[in-house]
């Protein structure tokens, strides 16, 4: 992955056809950094007018400027998805300014490492609000205010929770809840032409890795040793899966959670991994930056 921003002449190397989302508005929450930033770039490169939201206006403005420099269209809007009234107002504002939203990428979230015994109720509630309740509010409001009449596609963000998440039990509970919520929404909203899916990334080389300190920070460079593909995933590999689920090619896919983890969630210590794997990473994001912890 490159460590410096490229010239504006560089472009996102999407595997999807140019103009795939031309004339459409797509919304990425948490679009100011990490995977959300990457997804916003790819959607814009494919012709979408991308709305990005988050709590920090400065981060959103910086990504919007990147996308504009690359020839795309991007509109930032800052609010907290945990605030129900702010979500209602934010959705109304975007719809009035840009018209119907064809796709929502419910990417915003966050957590902190802690054993269950040390998590306070306040900390537990904050992580659930970030990773589950806020996403629900975005889904509900976009459905009620727009997609119920116009149809659309939603992709939610979860994580590798299938074997529990020791050290991040609050996040695992919230992410598992989001996967189940995805199934319910897919069933209830199918009549309106709304598809709802989720992705569950494993260990992805993204800026979020630099938020951890202490033992977690020291462990991150060694994570790839526990992945059968013997490497970490890249942001572009998550984005590609999300874009597919938003695309017409996924028109009969709804209610699924797609694992993107190099098979890390499978198997056990009983069956040893091979020393090497013939795995080639897809690094399509021309503005990707290697997390400091992996340098």
Phi and psi based region of residue 223 (left: phi greater than 0; alpha: psi -120 to 50; beta: remaining):
alpha
Is residue 221 in some structural domain? no
Is residue 182 in some structural domain? yes
Phi, psi of 134 (to 5 degrees): -60, -40
pLDDT surpassing 70 at residue 160: yes
In this predicted structure, what is the pLDDT of residue 5? 47
Is residue 19 in some structural domain? no
Helix axes 34-45, 235-246, angle to 10 degrees: 50
- Non-local (6+) Cβ contacts of 241 within 8 A are 199, 258, 260
Q: For the segment 134-153, what is each residue's pLDDT rounded down to a tens digit?
A: 999 999 999 999 999 999 99
Least confident segment among 70-84, 125-139, 179-193, 274-288: 274-288
pLDDT surpassing 90 at residue 30: yes
Is residue 216 in some structural domain? no
In this predicted structure, what is the pLDDT of residue 136? 98
pLDDT surpassing 70 at residue 122: yes
Q: Which residue has the tokens 């809007």?
A: 77
Is residue 282 in some structural domain? no
List Cα–Cα distances, 204 to 105, 148, 211, in angstroms. Answer: 17, 34, 14
In this predicted structure, what is the pLDDT of residue 47? 98
Q: For the segment 209-244, what is each residue's pLDDT rounded down to a tens digit?
A: 767 666 777 777 777 788 888 888 899 999 999 999
Taking residue 35's Cβ as centre, other Cβ atoms within 10 Å add up to 28
Q: What is the CATH number of the domain that holds 160?
A: 3.40.50.720
The residues that bridge with 27 in the sheet, in sequence order, are 51, 104
Provide the domain count of the chain.
1
Q: What is the mean pLDDT of the chain?
A: 90
Is residue 218 in some structural domain? no
Domain enclosing residue 85, as ranges? 25-209+234-260
Q: How confident is the model at residue 7 (pLDDT cuts 50, 70, 90)?
A: very low
**What's the CA gap between 17 and 156, in Å, rounded?**
23
pLDDT surpassing 80 at residue 267: no
Q: Tell me the average pLDDT across 157-163.
A: 86
Q: For the segment 36-76, what is each residue's pLDDT rounded down to a tens digit?
A: 999 999 999 999 999 999 999 999 999 999 999 999 999 99
Is residue 215 in some structural domain? no
Is residue 31 in some structural domain? yes
Tell me what percent of the residues of the chain surpass a pLDDT of 70.
Answer: 94
């Amino acid at each position: 992955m490159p460590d410096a921003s490229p010239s504006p002449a560089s472009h996102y190397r999407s595997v999807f056809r140019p103009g795939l989302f031309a004339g459409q508005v797509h919304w990425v929450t948490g679009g100011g950094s990490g995977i959300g930033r990457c997804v916003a770039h790819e959607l814009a490169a494919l012709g979408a007018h991308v709305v990005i939201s988050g709590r920090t206006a400065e981060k959103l403005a910086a990504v919007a400027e990147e996308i504009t420099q690359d020839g795309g269209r991007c509109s930032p809007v800052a609010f907290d998805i945990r605030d129900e009234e702010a979500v209602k107002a934010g959705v109304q504002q975007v719809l009035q300014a840009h018209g119907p939203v064809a796709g929502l990428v419910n990417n915003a979230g966050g957590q902190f490492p802690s054993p269950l015994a040390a998590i306070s109720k306040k900390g537990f509630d904050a992580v659930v609000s970030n990773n589950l309740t806020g996403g629900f509010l975005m889904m509900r409001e976009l459905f009620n205010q727009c997609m119920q009449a116009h149809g659309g596609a939603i992709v939610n963000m979860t994580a590798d929770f299938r074997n529990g998440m020791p050290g991040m039990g609050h996040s695992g509970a919230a992410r598992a809840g989001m996967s189940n919520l995805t199934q319910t929404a897919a069933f209830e909203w199918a009549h309106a032409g709304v598809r709802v899916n989720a992705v569950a990334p494993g260990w992805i080389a993204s800026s979020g890795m630099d938020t951890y300190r202490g033992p977690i920070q020291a462990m991150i460079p060694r994570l790839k040793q526990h992945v059968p593909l013997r490497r970490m995933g890249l942001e572009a590999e998550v984005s590609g899966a999300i874009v597919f689920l938003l695309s017409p090619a996924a028109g009969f896919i709804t209610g699924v959670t797609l694992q993107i983890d190099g098979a890390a969630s499978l198997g056990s210590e009983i069956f040893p991994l091979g020393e090497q794997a013939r795995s080639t990473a897809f690094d399509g994001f021309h503005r990707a930056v290697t997390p400091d912890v992996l340098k």
